[in-house]
Chain A
Amino acid sequence: MHAFNYHRPSSVNDAAALAAKQAEGKLLAGGQSLVQAMKLRLASPSDLIDLGAIGDLKGIKVDGGSVSIGAMTRHAEVAGSAEVKKAIPALAYLASQIGDRQVRNMGTLGGSLANADPAADYPAAVLGLGATVVTNKRKIAADDFFKGLYETALQPGEIITQVSFPAPKRAAYVKFKNPASRFAIVGVFVADTGKGVRVAVTGAGPSVFRVADMEKALGAKFAPDAVAGIKVKADGLNTDLHASAEYRAHLVTVMAKRAVEAALK
């Protein structure tokens, strides 16, 4: 790890001001990706701006039809929250499936979304539930947030403060894990929102994406059979040692079907 300057601001404004000053600086959330990259000397920020002391970024609020989660809320808190389990059980379950216990105790919702790892779990819930990402500057709809491989709509110095998830009628997340890392090779989040069905896929492509054909079919009939015959194209999907694009395309259908089954249980 290279040497860096460390800052621990106590407000979002102070953090944003620091970030604006340090062009080579990085915001530090749970550090589960960034610190690893720094240890491997793949990332060498001049400054780390630790968001861990900002109380406003933490906590879970359930208000009527939506669940708002502070950006610095740890995965383990979401997984263990009785309120989340009651309002959106699929979201609590998804959080319980991220990484391992150590990662869940440190990793945060905001960090995961800002990093936008193609195999991360949270993007599937954000896009699948049609959540709203709230920053210190604006509100960004999920459909506008994810832009590509490790790319989001966030501007330099823009800080995610919370994410608001509308509670669906029913939803489920099923993932096929990479046997080594246990990241998603393919993870599918299916939500019957009451205003339509959303199907979001993580792990398969460079960025989380929706499958319009499946959403349409499930909108007509919310049943496993409705998606069993719908294939996504392998073109543009990820290929690595663990799974080819063709296999990932196949798994999208299998996981979507299983997610619908789980949502109906």
Chain B
Amino acid sequence: MTAPQTQFDPASARFGASRTQKRIEDDRLLTGKGLYSDDRTFPGQAWLVLVRSPYAHADIASIDVSAAREAPGVLAAWSMQDLRADGVGHIPFPPLFKQADGSPMEAPPRTPLAEGRVYYVGQPVVAIVAETREQAQDAAELVMVDYQELPCVADPRRAVQPDAPQLWPGAPGNVSAEARYGDAAAVDAALARAAHVTELALHNQRLIAMALEPRCSIGVAEGGRVTLYTQNQTPTGARDMLGAAFGAKPESFRVVVGDIGGGFGMKTGLTPEDALVCHGARKLRRPVKWRAERSEEFLGAHMGRDQHYAAKLALDRDGRILALRMDMLANFGAVPVGSTAIIPLALGPKVQTTVYHVPAVDYRIRGVLTNTMATGAYRGAGRPEANFLMERLVDKAAREMKIDPAELRRRNFIRLEQLPYATHLGDWYDSGDFGRVLERLLAAADWKGFAARREASRARGRLRGRGLSVYLEWTGAIPTETVDIQVDADGTVTVFSGTQAMGQGLETTYTQLVTEVLQIPARAIRIVQGDTDRANGVGSVGSRSAFVGGSAVVAAGHKVIVRGRELAAEALEAAAGDIEYRDGRFRIAGTDRALELAELAARQSERFIRVSATETPSAPSWPNGAQACEVEIDPDTGAVELARIASVDDIGRIINRMIVEGQVQGGIAQGAGQALMEQAVYDPESGQLLTGSLMDYCVPRADQFPPMANAFEEGIPCQTNLLGVKGCGELGTIGAAPAVANAVLDALAERGLLHLEMPYTPEKVWRALRGGR
């Protein structure tokens, strides 16, 4: 349950750590004072509109933009040929992965506009720039593209068959990249001697990120370079990709980000639309703006998940896990984005054995090209899929072996004495007490009281089921951030960070950290993010902001004190060792001679003090937790209702309880959404997106959730960073999908059903209850 809230008091000397503190940014965001990309309008601004491919796979025989160019208000109409003439290239993906034969990963290059061929429905083909958006839309209807349709393939299981349509010559069999991990012989041996083998084939279905704020980008030529105003979780990365796409120095671009209405990983890297507005600004010397329609966001923003698994779990007679074999086809889509490959090929495998000791593993992962939009980062990014597989395997094993599901999990946890624990992929778990987290959860969820609740449900004609999940996340991708802090003569303390708020409350969290280190009032502190001229870094992805960015904030705060001591020693004519710092004042110990931070800044010739700190946690962090869910099923309709949800998460030290509760609850909503209703579906024949609007793509709503009981295990701080934090942004999502799935399948178990694919839509459950008929 939500802890009592503390009203933000700007005069309070300190927030204090771990307190529930209302978010500073909410006042602005909730009263319409936020600044989102679409809120920006520039003098002389023109509008860019895209003509997108209606076909999943087709050769472009010809493009005729002559009528569009003549239309009222039109300033330009470009195909990729025009962009090439101006030296525009493609947006590269990182060269991290290889094919089975050792050659580099291959896929169609991500040109801002299609070049010669279209590979998925919604791919940008022609860009129109006009004085107004309506004029650009009218002109777009005059563009004539002669498509010669090719056979297409949307399902990776079909794409790897020998007779499937081929997307790219460099990726034979449509396999773009492949990764192998583990020891196949050891797993063969374990499977041979296992008392029980649980087998499972499952599809972790494709999802759409569905940020409330559709994307919007504006390119503006300013001072001899181009500024991209956009929403982006990784502004520095976007700037660097602009350099790559235009064959220019990254410094010839600036990326400015205001408020972001949800990102979930989708607003990372650089998009074709970003590159096109920047090209417009360079070419036309006018600000050029593009804003997605909601339907364009469905088609043109990268999606998440879409992984097909075949797995085997070998267990001994007592239910102790001996080995895991996993063969996975990851649907890359056609034209990979920057995060497409790393998620299934690297991030998922990192946590594939989750909180269990699995002596032997064997993973084969193929990234498959299909005629669909690319998949990429989406809340959890590989870790939800890996955890879902493990929790379904363990639950199925428990049912097959008739062992209590909590007990089977207990028997397989990595024990305290095994920490630090080396994984098969060469990482080390630094901390965690998985048994304690599970026991706390079982108590919080009243696991033992289930039988009575099931009887009560039965009396009302409802089937009730309960599900458990225990799970582990990895966070700390590229674990370095640099933070600058500047103290001005008026006492303002400004923090510059390359991490990026997108709704998760970083302004509040970082302010809390600074008040704690510098012992100054919150009202003196400003947090600056989202401007590559002022701060650079990796950005906010993979729950890393507090873990890496927050650590750098604290390191920079300490540096302010160290530097301030030296400066105060000079000013007060004392030895630096005699200067003590407290509550914003440097004082010669044992005297009343002191200087405020602001006074000290005013004495400098620049009239400010500025420090820079780069912080790199020594290793990744491993947030983990457990969730319990109970569902009720209406057997007449198959409708599933969420009845109870409880979670216990170990995210290390908590900086702001209300924020982490919000993160966990929102995450649970997204995970439960995947389990019960969300699915992006492409028609297998035509490659058309069948769930292209909110009329068909179902997102969870608040009225579908019971009150949640969210608790935290706070006694196990992370060992690898200054703060002891582990990251909280994705745990809820990771834990909820398997907990809900296991609950639904528990309710259906009396009908002999051991597995059913997500999402558990009413008709699917109704059919399952009728025995699949």
Q: Nearest Cβ in chain B — how far from A106, in angstroms?
A: 17
Given contacts A41-B137, A179-B761, A180-B677, contact A241 B696 (CB under 8 A): yes
Contacting pair B698 A1 (CB below 8 A): no
Contacting residue for B766 out of A3, A41, A240, A247, CB 8 A: A247
Cα–Cα, bound, A1→B681 (Å): 27
Contacting pair B695 A247 (CB below 8 A): no
Cα–Cα, bound, A176→B767 (Å): 16
Q: Which of A147-182 contact B (CB under 8 A)?
A: 176, 178-181
Cα–Cα, bound, A109→B767 (Å): 36
Q: Is A242 an interface residue (CB 8 A)?
A: yes
Q: Is B222 an interface residue (CB 8 A)?
A: no
Contacting pair A241 B681 (CB below 8 A): yes
Contacting pair B637 A180 (CB below 8 A): no
Cα–Cα, bound, A67→B762 (Å): 36
Contacting pair B696 A180 (CB below 8 A): yes
Contacting pair A242 B694 (CB below 8 A): no
Q: Is A254 an interface residue (CB 8 A)?
A: yes
Q: Bin the interface of chain A by size.
A: 20 to 34
Q: Is B147 an interface residue (CB 8 A)?
A: no
Q: Is A8 an interface residue (CB 8 A)?
A: no
Contacting pair B697 A176 (CB below 8 A): no
Contacting pair A180 B694 (CB below 8 A): yes
Given contacts A242-B761, A242-B763, contact A180 B636 (CB under 8 A): no
Q: Nearest Cβ in chain B — how far from A121, in angstroms?
A: 16
Q: Which of B635-682 contact A (CB under 8 A)?
A: 636-637, 639, 677, 681
Q: Nearest Cβ in chain B — how far from A5, in angstroms?
A: 15
Q: Which of A27-53 contact B (CB under 8 A)?
A: 40-41
Q: Is B26 an interface residue (CB 8 A)?
A: no
Q: Which of B724-773 contact A (CB under 8 A)?
A: 761-763, 766-767
Q: Is B455 an interface residue (CB 8 A)?
A: no
Contacting pair A176 B695 (CB below 8 A): no
Q: Is A244 an interface residue (CB 8 A)?
A: yes
Q: Which residue of A lies closest to B638 (CB)?
A: A247
Which residues does chain A contribute within 8 Å of B149, judged by CB atoms?
none
Q: Which residue of B lies closest to A179 (CB)?
A: B698
Contacting pair A181 B694 (CB below 8 A): yes
Q: Is A243 an interface residue (CB 8 A)?
A: yes
Given contacts A2-B138, A3-B134, A241-B690, contact A180 B763 (CB under 8 A): no
Cα–Cα, bound, A181→B698 (Å): 8
Contacting pair B766 A180 (CB below 8 A): no
Contacting pair A250 B696 (CB below 8 A): no
Contacting residue for B698 out of A40, A180, A183, CB 8 A: A180
Which residues does chain B contribute within 8 Å of A142, judged by CB atoms?
none
Which residues does chain A contribute within 8 Å of B691, judged by CB atoms?
241
Contacting residue for B695 out of A2, A180, A251, CB 8 A: A180
Q: Nearest Cβ in chain A — how far from B279, in angstroms?
A: 26
Contacting residue for B134 out of A1, A40, A181, A242, CB 8 A: A1
> Residue among B677, B697, B698, B767 with the most chain A CB within 10 A?
B698
Cα–Cα, bound, A180→B295 (Å): 15
Contacting pair B677 A247 (CB below 8 A): no
Q: Which of A174-217 contact B (CB under 8 A)?
A: 176, 178-181, 183
Q: Nearest Cβ in chain B — how far from A254, in angstroms?
A: 5
Q: Nearest Cβ in chain A — how far from B50, in angstroms?
A: 14
Which residues does chain A contribute within 8 Å of B637, judged by CB atoms?
176, 251, 254
Cα–Cα, bound, A181→B694 (Å): 7
Contacts between chains A and B (CB distance < 8 A), count: 44
User: How many B residues touch A, CB cutoff 8 Å?
Assistant: 23
Chain B residues touching A, majority SS:
loop
Contacting residue for B677 out of A3, A176, A179, A251, CB 8 A: A179
Which residues does chain B contribute within 8 Å of A242, judged by CB atoms?
696, 761, 763
Which residues does chain A contribute within 8 Å of B295, judged by CB atoms?
40
Contacting pair B138 A247 (CB below 8 A): no
Which residues does chain A contribute within 8 Å of B696, judged by CB atoms?
180-181, 240-242
Cα–Cα, bound, A145→B697 (Å): 32
Cα–Cα, bound, A250→B637 (Å): 8
Cα–Cα, bound, A242→B676 (Å): 12
Scan A248-265; emit 1 where CB is below 8 A from any B CB, else 0.
001100100000000000
Cα–Cα, bound, A129→B690 (Å): 36
Cα–Cα, bound, A179→B295 (Å): 19
Q: Nearest Cβ in chain B — how far from A182, in angstroms?
A: 9
Q: Nearest Cβ in chain A — how far from B766, in angstroms?
A: 6
Which residues does chain B contribute within 8 Å of A2, judged by CB atoms?
138
> Residue among B134, B697, B699, B762 with the most chain A CB within 10 A?
B762
Scan A116-156; emit 1 where CB is below 8 A from any B CB, else 0.
00000000000000000000000000000000000000000
Contacting pair A179 B762 (CB below 8 A): yes
Q: Nearest Cβ in chain A — how far from B162, in angstroms?
A: 30
Q: Which of A50-83 contact B (CB under 8 A)?
A: none
Q: Nearest Cβ in chain B — how far from A40, in angstroms?
A: 7
Cα–Cα, bound, A180→B690 (Å): 13
Given contacts A1-B134, A242-B761, A247-B766, contact A181 B695 (CB under 8 A): yes
Which residues does chain A contribute within 8 Å of B134, judged by CB atoms?
1, 3
Contacting pair B766 A250 (CB below 8 A): yes
> Residue among B137, B694, B696 with the most chain A CB within 10 A?
B696
Cα–Cα, bound, A179→B675 (Å): 13
Which residues does chain A contribute within 8 Å of B694, judged by CB atoms?
180-181
Contacting pair B677 A243 (CB below 8 A): no
Which residues does chain B contribute within 8 Å of A40, judged by CB atoms?
295
Q: Nearest Cβ in chain B — how far from A249, in angstroms?
A: 12
Q: Nearest Cβ in chain A — how far from B301, in angstroms?
A: 18
Which residues does chain B contribute within 8 Å of A243, judged by CB atoms?
762-763
Q: Nearest Cβ in chain A — how far from B398, in angstroms?
A: 30
Scan B616-647; emit 1 where CB is below 8 A from any A CB, else 0.
00000000000000000000110100000000
Contacting pair B697 A247 (CB below 8 A): no
Q: Which residue of A lies closest to B634 (CB)?
A: A254
Cα–Cα, bound, A241→B697 (Å): 10
Scan B672-713; emit 1 where CB is below 8 A from any A CB, else 0.
000001000100000000110011111100000000000000
Q: Nearest Cβ in chain B — how far from A78, in angstroms?
A: 22
Q: Nearest Cβ in chain A — how far from B159, in angstroms?
A: 22
Which residues does chain A contribute within 8 Å of B695, judged by CB atoms?
178, 180-181, 183
Which residues does chain A contribute within 8 Å of B698, judged by CB atoms?
179-180
Cα–Cα, bound, A243→B681 (Å): 15
Cα–Cα, bound, A41→B698 (Å): 23
Q: Which residue of A lies closest to B676 (CB)?
A: A179
Q: Which of B132-169 contact A (CB under 8 A)?
A: 134, 137-138, 141
Cα–Cα, bound, A251→B697 (Å): 22
Which residues does chain A contribute within 8 Å of B690, judged by CB atoms?
241
Q: Nearest Cβ in chain A — how far from B557, in angstroms?
A: 46
Q: Nearest Cβ in chain A — how far from B695, in angstroms?
A: 4
Q: Which residue of B lies closest to A244 (CB)?
A: B763
Q: Nearest Cβ in chain A — how far from B95, in angstroms?
A: 38
A-side residues, CB < 8 A to B, are 1-3, 40-41, 176, 178-181, 183, 240-244, 247, 250-251, 254
Query: Can you report 8 residue pairs joining A to B where beta carbons are below 8 Å apart?
Result: A176-B639, A178-B695, A179-B698, A180-B695, A180-B697, A241-B681, A241-B690, A250-B766
Taking A180-B697, A241-B691 as known contacts, 20 extra A-B pairs with beta carbons closer than 8 A to each other, sorted by chain A number, are A1-B134, A2-B138, A40-B295, A41-B137, A176-B637, A176-B639, A176-B762, A178-B695, A179-B761, A179-B762, A180-B677, A180-B694, A180-B699, A181-B694, A183-B695, A243-B763, A247-B762, A247-B766, A250-B766, A254-B637
